[in-house]
Amino acid sequence: MYFTSEQLLDDGVLEREFTVGEIPGTLWIPASAGASGAAPVPLVLMAHNNGLPRTQSRLVARARHCAAHGYAVASIDAAGCGDRPRSAADEQARIELRRAMQAGEPVDEIFESFIGPLVEMAVPDWRTTLDALLTLPEIGGPVGYSGWTAVGIRLAVVEPRIAAAGFFAGGYVPRAQRDEARQVTVPLLFLLQWDDEGNPRERALDLFDSFGTKEKTLHANLGGHTGTPWFEVEDGNRFFGRHLK
């Protein structure tokens, strides 16, 4: 793991760019976490839905806010995600998915053929990154996860170090992850937008119903996909506060 740059932000958060092998990532961490005698801070892995870049402004705002509340927050561009190289076929599928969604056409098959493999490829990169981050003395367990529902389901099932997870949206989730949702047993905060144009509400509610965990909470707010109110970011921090501290 190599750190390639770092910047102290005005909220007392250190933003550190890193690479782990071919995986580029960003770590946001309270500047105070590195001080001698300071206790290690818990880690939250934050993934953006469907492989959007880790530099996207809404993800960065959430990550900084969470870090300012005493967490180490990490995001990566996993294989095929963010600015990582994509095959021409994936590029084409992404265009086709956007077109079909805007036209209101069924997207299940495009979604399955494109996002399914992306999730399979992304999860090993997240685990590799987790291994590397937990070697840093300023970061301790337990580990939380926040964001992209499909990757979060897979990670929560295969990765015993994940102790709590917050998922967003979840109307479209590959079949493999819908099927393994019942194997998720960690505490969950499931967040959805009531009028999310890209995530059918009934499917999201069905997915919430199917999680195997005994401790799950649903938060829903009026409005479209990008309209989540800011207080949900604070609620997410409080959720992690109950389970990671």
If one asks whether residue 100 binds its own copies (CB under 8 A), the answer comes out as: no
- d(CA 55, CA 203) in angstroms, rounded, equals 29
If one asks whether residue 225 binds its own copies (CB under 8 A), the answer comes out as: no
Q: Which is nearer to its own copies, 203 or 216 (CB)?
A: 216
- In this chain, which stretch among 7-15, 63-71, 119-127, 201-209 interacts with its own copies, using CB under 8 A? 201-209
How does strand 139-148 pair with strand 72-76?
unpaired
Beta carbon of residue 237, minimum distance to its own copies (angstroms, whole number): 12
DSSP calls for 193-242: ETT-TTS-HHHHHHHHHH---SSEEEEEESS-TT---THHHHHHHHHHHH
- d(CA 177, CA 103) in angstroms, rounded, equals 26
If one asks whether residue 197 binds its own copies (CB under 8 A), the answer comes out as: no
**3-state DSSP of 86-108:** CCHHHHHHHHHHHHHHHCCCCCH
If one asks whether residue 205 binds its own copies (CB under 8 A), the answer comes out as: yes
- In this chain, which stretch among 120-128, 140-148, 160-168, 213-221 interacts with its own copies, using CB under 8 A? 213-221
Half-sphere exposure of 51 (CA within 13 A, CB side): 24
- Rg, C-alpha atoms of the chain: 17
If one asks whether residue 242 binds its own copies (CB under 8 A), the answer comes out as: yes
Q: Single out the residue of 101, 221, 225, 243 in contact with its own copies (rule: CB under 8 A).
A: 221
Coil/strand/helix, residue 21:
coil
Beta carbon of residue 193, minimum distance to its own copies (angstroms, whole number): 11
Q: Single out the residue of 32, 92, 210, 217 in contact with its own copies (rule: CB under 8 A).
A: 217
Beta carbon of residue 79, minimum distance to its own copies (angstroms, whole number): 34
Nearest to 65, CA basis, from 146, 141, 5, 1: 146
Q: Single out the residue of 89, 218, 224, 245 in contact with its own copies (rule: CB under 8 A).
A: 218
Find the binding residues for its own copies in span 108-147 (CB under 8 A).
Answer: none
Q: Single out the residue of 3, 4, 108, 194 in contact with its own copies (rule: CB under 8 A).
A: 194
Q: Which residues in this chain contact its own copies in the complex, by CB under 8 A?
A: 194, 205, 208-209, 213-222, 229, 231, 234-235, 238, 242
